[in-house]
Amino acid sequence: MSKDDTRSRGERLGIGPCWPYWDQMFPTRPTSGFIHFKTITTGRHIAQRLWDARETGRRTLDERGAGGEHRGLVVYHPDCWWGACADCTWLGPGRGTRAYDEVSAVESHTGALPLLVVRWLPPWDRADSDVEFQVLPWIATVDDEAS
Ligand SMILES: [Zn+2]
């Protein structure tokens, strides 16, 4: 790795397509080898699921013809909700365990309420379906249902 390498940490470490989210989730170099290991293993998997949820939301909005420059989403990976944007790599701070915890961050980024909530379903929550992501419209009550 040369001093002139301008790639982000996630790109340099080969995190994969979710590197923009990984970089935002782990912005500083870990202070221990163990934490570094956890960020490139467990952390990478969580970043990938959030990225896949964002991509599911983006495709859904595209299919519905929902326009906009920065279309807001809230994406989920147990047990935390994150604001996300369907049109750029912005990721909210992941403040809490309720979808509503990320609304103000989404509003700050997009100027509007989130359009969709995209929830990753762990295998034990998929019932008889192989559907990996549940896509819901943003409504005030979704938080009670999904948390
Ligand atoms: Zn955006």
**pLDDT tier, 2 (very low <50, low <70, confident <90, very high otherwise):** low
Tell how far the Cα of 16 is from the centroid of ligand 1, in angstroms.
20
Tell how far the Cα of 102 is from the centroid of ligand 1, in angstroms.
14
Tell how far the Cα of 115 is from the centroid of ligand 1, in angstroms.
13
Helix (H, G, I), strand (E, B) or coil at 89: coil
Note the pLDDT tens digit of each residue in 43-85: 999 999 999 999 999 999 999 998 889 999 999 987 889 999 9
CB 107 within 8 A of CB 113: yes
Task: Record the tokens describing residue 44, joined without a space.
Answer: 């990478």
Tell how far the Cα of 124 is from the centroid of ligand 1, in angstroms.
32
Amino acid at 62: D
C-alpha 24/C-alpha 70 separation (Å) is: 18
Tell how far the Cα of 1 is from the centroid of ligand 1, in angstroms.
30
Tell how far the Cα of 73 is from the centroid of ligand 1, in angstroms.
10
Note the pLDDT tens digit of each residue in 95-104: 888 888 899 9
